[in-house]
A and B are shown apart, each in its own frame.
Chain A
Amino acid sequence: MITRYQILFACLFLLAACNHNPPVRDSQLALMKTTNPKPLVTDQNKSNDSVKEIKKDVSSFPELYDVAVIKGKKDTLVVYKVKHLYRFKMKKIEKNVNKKLEKKYPKENFTVSSDYKIFLEAIRLDEQMKSAKFSHKEAEKRLKDIVKMTDKTK
């Protein structure tokens, strides 16, 4: 007769066989862990120095811990995660980030968000842009879609 322990052992044995460590993408765990993605420009012919500067400025806020910046032709998307204890002040933080960015970069058109979904989509776009199949045009279109999505979060 098969005992309970034999079933347990069989299950563990079978499940262990499935564990062959497939590569884990950043987007798979972006909702739970810090990913800290590199700042991106959809048009890769342009330099991303200004975007790096933007990321540095946003990261300087002590309430934030994971910042993603994507610069398109018109819009610049800034997404961040807020530390747990500061989540009651989300609107104030967003206002401060917006204020600082608009003051320092008056020519840029910023879209600022702290929504997890927008962050996840930014990471996915980052991963897609790394593949050769994904063109600049597609990246720009995807960025526009993400920016449009931020309207729903307000």
Chain B
Amino acid sequence: MPTTKQKNTTPQQRNYQQLQQKHEIKRPVLKNCLKAFFVGGFICVIGQAVSYFYIYFFDFTEQSVGNPTVATMVFFSMLLTGFGVYDRLGQFAGAGSAVPVTGFGNAVISAAIEHRTEGFVLGVGGNMFKLAGSVILFGVFSAFVVALIKTLLVIWGVL
């Protein structure tokens, strides 16, 4: 039975849609997931190695090592974006390279590179956080909400 959307289309349009569906290349979802899983996992392995480096050679404990590790990983991805390597990795791994914290560095620097011709203040400065701004905003806001809930639970004696 044709759906409402199909009812509004002409027979030619329906034929065209069928033809299009026939020739459309199917998205390799499983393959993409595997690529994202392995590349994302590899980035996390590097992150783990960096955190062990800080624990081993500096006075960072497991609790405090998160901050320098995140900073280092973001810095690495910023450099790789500048050299044009991270973009290729992004094309290959998709979410695997965008979801880890390195994706944040990539979002900042790629926007800065894109707008550098518009000048340092209005171009780079104004557009640098075009993509990453939402990450910072929702990150800070959700951290505030979680901290508020925890504080209330502590005051009420639940935690």
- Residues of chain A whose beta carbon lies under 8 Å from any beta carbon of chain B: 31, 115-118, 120, 149, 152-154
Query: Does B32 interact with chain A (Cβ within 8 Å)?
Result: no
Residues in B whose Cβ lies below 8 Å from that of A120: 55-56
Which of B52, B55, B64 contacts A152, CB < 8 Å?
A: B64
**Can you sample 17 A-B contacts with CB below 8 Å?**
A31-B52, A115-B61, A115-B62, A115-B63, A116-B55, A116-B61, A117-B55, A117-B59, A117-B60, A117-B61, A117-B62, A117-B65, A120-B56, A149-B59, A149-B61, A153-B62, A153-B63
Determine the distance from Cα of A37 to Cα of B155 in the docked complex, in whole angstroms. 42
Distance in Å: Cβ of B67 to nearest Cβ of chain A: 12
Query: How many pairs, one residue from A and one from B, have CB atoms within 8 Å of each other in the complex?
Result: 27
Query: Does the CB pair A116–B59 fall under 8 Å?
Result: no
Residues in B whose Cβ lies below 8 Å from that of A116: 55, 61-62
Distance in Å: Cβ of A152 to nearest Cβ of chain B: 5
Which interface residue of A116, A117, A120 has the most chain B CB atoms within 10 A?
A117
Given contacts A115-B62, A117-B61, 20 further A-B contacts (CB under 8 A): A31-B52, A31-B55, A31-B56, A115-B61, A115-B63, A116-B55, A116-B62, A117-B55, A117-B59, A117-B62, A117-B65, A118-B61, A120-B55, A120-B56, A149-B59, A149-B61, A152-B63, A152-B64, A153-B61, A153-B63
The contact string, 1 if C-beta is below 8 Å from chain A, for chain B 41-80, is: 0000000000010011001111111000000000000000
Residues in A whose Cβ lies below 8 Å from that of B65: 117
Determine the distance from Cα of A63 to Cα of B96 in the docked complex, in whole angstroms. 32
Distance in Å: Cβ of A13 to nearest Cβ of chain B: 27
Determine the distance from Cα of A116 to Cα of B56 in the docked complex, in whole angstroms. 9
Distance in Å: Cβ of A121 to nearest Cβ of chain B: 9
